[in-house]
Structure 1
Amino acid sequence: MNRQTRIFQAIKEMGADTGATASQIARNLQLDRANVSHDLNNLYKEGKLKKSKGRPIYFSLEENGDKDHILSKIDTFTQKNPSLHVAIEQGKAAILYPPKGLHTIIMGETGAGKSMFARMMHSFGLESGRFSNDFVSFNCADYSNNAQLLLSHLFGVKKGAYTGAVDQEGLIEKADQGILFLDEVHRLPPEGQEMFFKFLDDGTFRKLGEADQERSAKVMIICATSENAQSSLLQTFIRRIPMVITIPPLRERSEKERYEMIKDFFKEEAIQLGKEIFVSANTLYSFLYYPCPNNVGQLKNDIQLACARAYADFITEKKERIQINSTDLNAYVREGLAYRDNKPAIQLNHRYYIFSKQAEDAPMIEDPFEQTQNIYDLIERKHHELTDKGLPKNEINTLMDHEIEQSFTQYINSVKQKLDTADLLKVIDVKFIKLSEKIIQYAEERLQKRFDNKITLGLALHIHTSIERLKLGKEIMNPKLNSLRTFYKQEFWVALESLRLIEEDLKVNLPIDEAGYLTMFFKSEHMGLPEESREKVPVIVMMHGNSTASSMADTVNQLLNENYARSIDMPLHMSTAAAYESLKKMALKIKTKSGLLLLVDMGSLVSFGEKLQEDLGVPVRTIDAVSTPHVLEIVRKAVLGYSLDELYGELMTADYQVAKNPVNHDQPAKLAIVTACLTGHGSAKTIKNALKKYLSYDKNNFEFISINISERTEAARLIHTLSKEKRIVCIVSHFHLTDQYPQFSIEDVVRLKGIKEIQTLVDQEQIYLSMEETLHHHLEKLDARKIVPDIRRFLETVQEHLNTTINKNDLIGIVLHISCMLDRLNLDENPVSYSEKATYIENNKQMFNTLKEILIPLEKKYALTVPDDEICYIMNFFEWALEENQGAKG
């Protein structure tokens, strides 16, 4: 009898009415209280037990809970993982099939959960009475190259089978009356598979060295493989395994299933640590949406790693509690935040979620699939998100105005139509429902309109939440109060009277801000507030090409769910005059008085703004060389009501000018460190300031650039554009953007772990910059600013082909040598000679051929041929550097 069955039986023996606490049962059965508490809560979730309110919690039988068979763990697992329903039913059938079950092979990608599924089958076998023995696991990869060792390990050894052999029990005997799990069965060699034939056929076997005695065991074989069984296993072996179960990868599981896994993994860690774990909403989003190629196994490992780091910070007193924020995660996990916008099914409305060591505390973990959202918490969460991004206060206030409207709509929509009064009574007191009905009746009479049932239910929940908030001493504040009072006067007066009804009925005092929320209920059929007194600034995107502008505008409008950005495409055959007339016609149709912002790419379009301003008599601002992230950000702020000057000022900052100014080839390209975050502000600028503080660099030839990465592909394109004007030293970002440059996480900079490495890169690049300046005045034919980068790329390729890394100081010397050599060859000066060239080349043929082949692009670009003698001298550099590397290792 397993532990959960024992606990359920103990509750039955105590009587349906008496009940017992977790401590009492743990004491009576001499079990660990935490384990008892966990099982009691599972029985409660399965509908077998009921529990009392308050503390201590008493568990007793439900009226329908007195059944001989309680819900098995595998059935409970099915409820949380519906995508595995078919696999689980197959597993149960394999276990229950008489007389000893069906041998089974479980197929699935690495980390999909094959081992866990096999153990769950064993657990079901124990619960159903099919097995009485343990689960024996064997990894076939460990013995794949030694057939005799494999045979002895599986079937055992008879004394005297070989010199020094003693009697040894095999895994088959150990697994008698249980399960033998063969993991990575595809690593079993053909002869290893053939060893199983007799046992799979009739359940008999012989030990190694045993010819006169045949043994038998009742063992069910479960195999697991991540390979195609048909191609990696013998057909004669596969035919003896009748049940084939496939476990789907994590990417094919539903969001809710993955969310349940994440919660379970965090609960396991809380129990393991014996302490509460506080997990931020963004952390949960990261784990929910990040690409997880190694499936459930990787997901669990990444969560364990995050918990381990948080625990280390706690015990070293860096943090007051075990707390995990998204900034504590590995960069590849934080990528989940970038995918979140495309998968809005799950809404987490609190900053932190608590995973407790006690099972009774599980309700403290808010479940977005089961609980109705709270307007105050939605607004607070939005405010925290904006504050965490480091946005200035005035921008937060502007954004919050828009967010409150969206949050209210989201709140109303979350109140399901199917939630009738009977259901609502399970959530809140009947007095709130009756009060809501009275208020809605009054509002319908005064406003002469009918309200949908979900408005009544939503209002009841809202009033309940308001009163609970007041009891906790939390503030009720509505930043939209003035605009609501101005634009919805009739609804606002009804809200004030409703406020009086609430205060009289519930004997409370409510702030006038609450009238603002009531007004939002009464005007809820409107899509949004009327236009503010300040007219919004129109944005026109105008670019060369058949669809460049329209594609960019369409992308931005889709991302913002707004039809705001207008566009004009200028095909290459269109004349400048015709293009301007198209722009003027569109501007006249808009009839704007607040001004117009024109976003263009290049050429004659840059001058259109001034002419349009003269013709229309309204202010026009023009920004050139914009990209999709620029347009996205500017349209977002235009929708929020930013003025023309505010919009223009945003785009004309240094951060937005990275792709605008033409390169001056008479001056060396500046070195740059790129910091990137989701907005181009906030954390990116904070990191930029930290780098300025801790790095040593020449301010005359160095700069820091913050960019927006709200769209990853566009961010990569922006970095590519930057690279044509700047010499990028490295990138600092939460998200991996390109393999072209060294990248550091924001955590590396904040914790100063990456500063030393970044400083090394800065020093190295400044040396190369100085070298180029020196060579620029020294070389007679070639441009050092062009040739040095080419030589560096050549040397990177050579190192890759030779599978070695050369000391940076040695590389600088090689760059200097090759630069002078190429310039000398370009001048047709007498070539140098290398003594004993033929012998040297013969002794180092592989390196010589490698260098000769990789030099071809340089030779073609600079119209010259590098003699073998010169290649020998370059080989000398690599030989010396390689010897130094080997000496250092020795």
Structure 2
Amino acid sequence: MEKELSLYLKEITKSFNKENLKIFSANDIANKINLSRSTVSSYLNKEVKEGNIIKVKEYPVIFLDKEVFINNYFKIKLNEYESLEDLFRENNGLSSKDSLSGVIGAKGSLKEQIEQVKTAVLYPKNGLPIMLLGPSGSGKTFLAKCIYDYCIQEKLLTNKSPFISLNCAQYYNNPELLSSELFGYVKGAFTGADKDKKGLLESADGGVLFLDEVHRLTDEGQEKLFTFMDSGEFSPVGDNSVKKSSKVRLIFATTESIQSTFLPTFIRRLPVVVSIPSFSERPNQEKLSLIDSFFLKESEILDKSIKVSSQVISFLLSSNFEGNVGKIKNIIKYSCGSGYTRSKKNDYINVKITDLPIECESRIKDVLGYQFSSRYQDRTYDYKYPELLDISRSEDKNIANTYFQFIEEYKELEKGSISSEQYINKMKNNVNMLLDNLVFNSNSSKNQSLFSIISFTIRHAFKYMEENYGIKQDGNKILSIASLLYYKEEHEILINHPDWNSLRPKLLAFINMHMENSVWLSKMMLKNLGEQLDYDFLDEDLIFISFYLNSTNMQKIRSGINSIILAHGYSTASSMANVANRLLKRNLFQAIDMPIDTKIEDIENKVIDFIENNSIENGLILLVDMGSLSDLCNKLKDKIRGPLLLIDYVSTPIVLEVGSLLLQAKNIDEIYEEVLNGVNIERKIVYPTIRKKKAILTCCYTGMGSAVQIHDILEKSLNREREEITIIPYDYNKLMKNKKRELPFQIYDVISIIGTENPQIDGVNYIGLEHLIGGEEIDGFISILKENFDVDSDKLKKDLVFNFSTKKIIENLTILDANKILSSIEQAVDRLEKLLDMKLSNNRRFLLYLHTSCMVERILRKEDVDPQEDIEDFMEKEKRKVDIVKYSLSDIEKEYTIEISDLEIRLICDIIFN
């Protein structure tokens, strides 16, 4: 058996490449040579420990014959690697392990934080000071140690460089002692100081000093510390005439608010503030990875495999403890100890819900009462074979395979092996095959209570889509998406694919180009779902749902106008509807056939029945072959919920003309004016008599993108009023062209339009986005709302100011502190206005804030801007303006130790003067 396995692994290792990783997994190898997975895994891991096999631990975990690999590819030193990237880094003479990239969450919830840290560490001249901000037990001390290890790996420090850690909280009642610990003291500085003593700053020279709970520093201590940060010099306690120097990388940590705890002068010296999420804020997959790592460590300490019940896993994943990750770790340690005590003579340890500490009792009842346990399976931990924790449930494997195909097939598309159309069709087919499998062929039993909650939430989301965008509910779609979310849970799958990060922007751009409406609909639906489920959906979910909705023909955002043909005769109406639908290649018309002696009351009842069972908010067209049109209008106006167009004439030509106008996305008013223009037929529009719901429209002259963003910010700010008001992103060009004839004005009482350009609609308040950002129109907007319903003015104003603030809009900066950079830019722009003797509009000032902050971060990252062929001519022609701009930005250059290039100056000039 071992010989057969060894020979097979040697053979496949000869053909190793990044395109066929799956064949190197324990599961695939076991299938190929007809052995059990556990047997193959046991042998492979034994050979890894003996140095004969290479193990790469990212998903899927793969194994390679070491001798064959070295002979065919390149020399390596280790037997185990965290990722393929680490393996190939060694070929380039780089450190094979990156301590920061190996942190759980480095590719997920901590991705931006790790990027911030790496930028700070690699910054020239001893790096930048780092402040770690997060609740107690979230892993700040662990991350500080990883930063130190990373400095060594990048050859910024040596193995002999010191790492000194101090918890300032232990000196809370004795700030003088804390100061002497940091800066040292001279003999006679205070009672008991009988000799000179080095401080930690001096002891940490050439290394890292980590100050935990640094908010315990007094104002005086903060001042002395930031003086050292500026000059690199400090004085020991007791003799300010002595000046000592030290080259130390500083890492701080606090659990408190930075703005309210530290001196502004100290905060200004903190260019990098890294927020660490609590355990409860981490995605479930990261929580599970942390739990796995703790149980594996206990397995190694106790030298036994550990079997953990699904109830324990559910409890740990669903708990929210003070102490966070540290508390979870201690609970696991206690539980394993309890299980070990009960089963000393067994080969393995059983950990059950009864092994949890007694302090968890009340929380256990809450979690188990929620019936989440069946979402997770029992798990077995063995430090000798950690890959046994890999995906085991068939549903999980199928989901992972389908998501991976998005990447693998896109690589084929990039190589030219398949066309865009072939790629789209193949992915739609894969998506539907997976959903069919989850719905009809799943062998796993569902937690029906949980599945019902998810299904109900999705139904609610579809109802929202129906009410706002005319997308009808569909039981099959609801069941399919519910099954996907149930089995996928909150796992991030593509983060494990080696090409995901590089291909993600390309793939998102591709689906936006080829399935724009599907993507837009998916975003709207997932946003609504995310609010209901309290979950942030991932880009990979957006891609999946977009392909699915595209495959169900929901990709077209239809006008949503229903059309009915009513005609006397056995099949007169049906025949005309059938002919028109086939010729127009769209199912636009429905038919109601009526006996010759049908009364108007019968027609009224049939139409009312249709109205009650269909969404007609976007409009209803009735083509009838009888008189008494006025009577029918009067009887229906109290029943309808949207505009009703009645045409007292039916023939195949007029049906085709109405259908053609519907295909052109004409609204009810346009169809009323254009249908059989010049022909003497009776037609009439009736609007609902019921009180219209209030609405705000958002628009942007460049397209729907900004309109949707404005919509999202307003939704967030007006959350408490959402039942009373509807916010609708709408096409600016349609508003500009058709004014109040557009559909929202027929269905809603539009009280305001907010956008980037005024569509000039009489009687409707318009507020420009730049005025909301600048704050000038916030009071006016609140006044409009107060005219229509009761609002908490102070709270709403606060929410609007915050959500529309420049700081909020640029808060995605990863290196810079938003408050600090905005303050610097504000001073620069003020100086600019004074020197140029001009007053910038709020809109232009906003653009300068946004562009300049991103520019500084771009320069710090050493990223280039596109070249400009006429740059020399411009700099010479506009020399005076250029000099003023350069001088105005000079303080920013000094503050961040950067040099702003002529290309960057040109871009800023374009914003100011164009």
**Structure-1-length-normalised TM-score:** 0.36
**Structure-2-length-normalised TM-score:** 0.35
Which structure has the greater CA radius of gyration? 1
